[in-house]
Homo-oligomer: A and B are copies of this chain.
Amino acid sequence: MNELVFIGLGLNDEKGITVKGLEETKTANSVFMENYTSRMPDFNLQQFELICGKKVQLVTRHMLENENGTRILQAAKVGKTVFLVPGDPFIATTHVTLRIDAEKQGIKTRIIHGSSIMSAIISLSGLHNYKFGKTVTVPFPENFSETPYNVIDQNKKNGLHTLCLLDLKTEENLYLSINQAIMSLQEIEQKKKNNVITPDTVAVGIARAGSYNPTLKADFIKYLTDFDFGEPPFSLIFPGDLHFMEIDALLAFAGAPAEFRRLAR
């Protein structure tokens, strides 16, 4: 059957895929995979090819953006084609275009979902999912933007938590560190002086969410900047109002100091 199946690879390694995702891959005529929208730290392509029994064709950013995924669409016109994507297939919006193009060309599309880094981070932190506001990415200094600061500010005014994804360039193995992200937000604070990011602001740093050894640390940012989070990738949560159960979770799972008990609202 000619169709294009988008399958989420989930998190970290070649076993982050769902059982049904793996089964669908095993029965495909062509298998493509991209590995540039996010990083799966322990993913081994040879190992994955062994598990699924298929040759996997790696798709570069250039191929998708300059050739509009023509090779993938052509394969999908003549047989069952699987496109593997880290995490959940459309949490990064870059592949929506490919799916629209496929449907416009009369190719049937389906999705097999995967674990997303966003719900993994929220899940790990123990903070309440429904209390998160808009998510934001903190860019590298050369792409400086005030948006992350403004999003944190707006969310806090509504009592909401902010999940900050820290920028990365997988192809160059570059990752914005938690320390760099905090410094960049502090720079904006010095200009705007809205008291959004002060030394006593509470944050939760998370490294390697979805891996076998994630590191979490909740603290006031004056102490967080010295903490060694180990290997990337990194993310940061700026909590809004904290329920006492959320504080309990930060004490139990994220090494929060006892002073956090005073923050309950």
List A residues 90-123 near B (Cβ within 8 Å): 90-93, 96-97, 99-100, 103-104, 110-111, 113-116, 118-120, 122-123
Please report the C-alpha to C-alpha distance between residue A124 and residue B111 in the assembled complex, in whole angstroms. Answer: 8
Does A130 contact B137, Cβ atoms closer than 8 Å?
yes
Residues of B within 8 A of A116 (CB): 115-116, 119
CA distance A223 to B28 in the complex (A): 39
Please report the total number of A residues contacting B with Cβ < 8 Å: 59
Chain B nearest CB, measured from A110 CB (Å): 8
| Chain B residues, Cβ within 8 Å of A115 | 8, 10, 18, 88, 113-116
The yes or no answer to A239 lying at the interface (CB within 8 A) is no
The interface residues of chain B lying within 8 Å CB-to-CB of A91 are: 119, 122-123, 129
User: B residues within 8 A CB of A249?
Assistant: 96, 99-100
Tell which of B16, B119, B137 touches A119, judged by Cβ atoms closer than 8 Å: B119
Secondary structure dominating the interface of A: mixed
Q: In angstroms, how far is the closest chain B Cβ from the Cβ of A122?
A: 7
Q: Report the bound CA distance from A253 to B17 in whole Å.
A: 24
Q: Which residues of B contact A210 (CB under 8 A)?
A: 113
Judge whether A264 is part of the interface by a CB distance below 8 angstroms. Answer: no
Verify A17–B15 contact, CB threshold 8 A. Answer: no
Q: A1-24 vs B: 1/0 string, CB under 8 Å?
A: 000000010110111111110110
What is the bound-complex CA distance between A158 and B97, given in angstroms? 25
Determine if A89 is an interface residue (Cβ-Cβ < 8 Å): yes
Residues of chain B within 8 A (CB-CB) of A8 are 115
Partner of A99, one of B14, B113, B252: B252
- Chain B residues lying within 8 Å of A253, measured Cβ to Cβ, are 99-100, 103
* Closest B residue by C-beta to A96: B126
Contacts of A18 in B (CB 8 A): 10, 15-19, 115
Is residue A132 within 8 Å, beta carbon to beta carbon, of the partner chain? yes
Binding site for B on A (CB under 8 A): 8, 10-11, 13-20, 22-23, 51, 88-93, 96-97, 99-100, 103-104, 110-111, 113-116, 118-120, 122-124, 126, 128-137, 154, 158, 160, 210, 212, 245, 248-249, 252-253
Q: Kindly list the 5 A-B residue pairs having the minimum CB-CB distance in the complex, ordered from nearest.
A: A15-B20, A90-B123, A116-B119, A113-B115, A15-B19
